[in-house]
Homo-oligomer: A and B are copies of this chain.
Amino acid sequence: MANSKVYLEIVKQLREMIAADGLMQGDKIPSERELSERLNVGRSSVREALRALELLGLIETRRGEGTFIRDFHGHQLVQLLSTFILQDEKAKSDVYETKYLLEMDCLRLAVKKMDDAMIYSMEKWLSETAQFHDDDFFCQIVQGAENHLFSRIWGILKDYYNALIANPVHYDRKDYFLLFKALAEKNEQKTLSAYCKLRNLSID
């Protein structure tokens, strides 16, 4: 059988193990030696798998204590990748373009799906929060889109985007209100053009 590399197999097993035992972020996973024994592989192979996952930011190891599941939205991976990919301008523009398109999709969904309660709570948040980050705003929009898969993809892209951007742009606060207003009116056309205005995108 196994022509596949052992460490990849371990990554897979680990994922299943986490799912099966319902381990959450912060929980401890079995020690390297125990994994090695339970999976019938050498400790080196276990370590290769763990180190890879660590570099990805999916787990965290503390010497003398153990290995723990980490907050999946770790920025580490993104940061790391960006140092490798930084040079590629085309890749950058791909990220921008994709993020914008996804956000517009979210807006389209939100226009259809957001109910009054959500709109109200967002309105409250907007009026009460003096200073907010662009991500905070769109995080709510994305939630309003009620598509978990979409949320995930957007979340990754957002982190990636932020890692690429040297100086985070700050948009005009008024434009957020306009965007929200159009959204609350459930007017797709208006919402999208408000978005383009916010992002300084040509409407083309």
A interface residues with partner B (beta carbon < 8 Å):
7-8, 11, 15, 19, 44, 47-49, 51-56, 58, 72-73, 75, 77-78, 80-81, 83-91, 94-95, 97-98, 101-102, 104-105, 108-109, 112, 147-150, 152-153, 156, 160, 204
Q: Specify which of B51, B90, B148 is in contact with A94 (CB 8 Å cutoff).
A: B148
CB–CB B105/A149 < 8 A: no
Let me know if A77 and B77 touch, CB within 8 A: yes
The answer to whether B56 and A89 touch across the interface, beta carbons within 8 angstroms, is: no
List the B residue with the shortest CB-CB distance to A104. Answer: B105
Asked, given contacts A147-B97, A149-B94, A153-B153, whether A78 binds B75 with beta carbons under 8 Å apart, the answer is: no
User: Is B153 touching A98 in the complex (CB atoms < 8 A)?
Assistant: yes
Return A59 CB to nearest CB of chain B, in Å: 10
A84→B47 contact, CB < 8 A: no
Shortest CB distance A53–B (Å): 8
Tell me the bound Cα distance from A86 to B169 in angstroms. Answer: 31
| Given A52-B52, A77-B81, A87-B148 contact (CB < 8 Å) | no
**Contact A19 B94, CB 8 Å, known A54-B52, A56-B81, A81-B56:** no
Report the separation of the CA atoms of residues A30 and B19 in the bound assembly, to the nearest whole angstrom. 38
Contacts of A81 in B (CB 8 A): 56, 77, 156
* A148 and B91 within 8 A (CB): yes
- Assess the B150–A98 pair: CB atoms within 8 A: yes
**Residues in B neighbouring A53, C-beta threshold 8 A:** 55
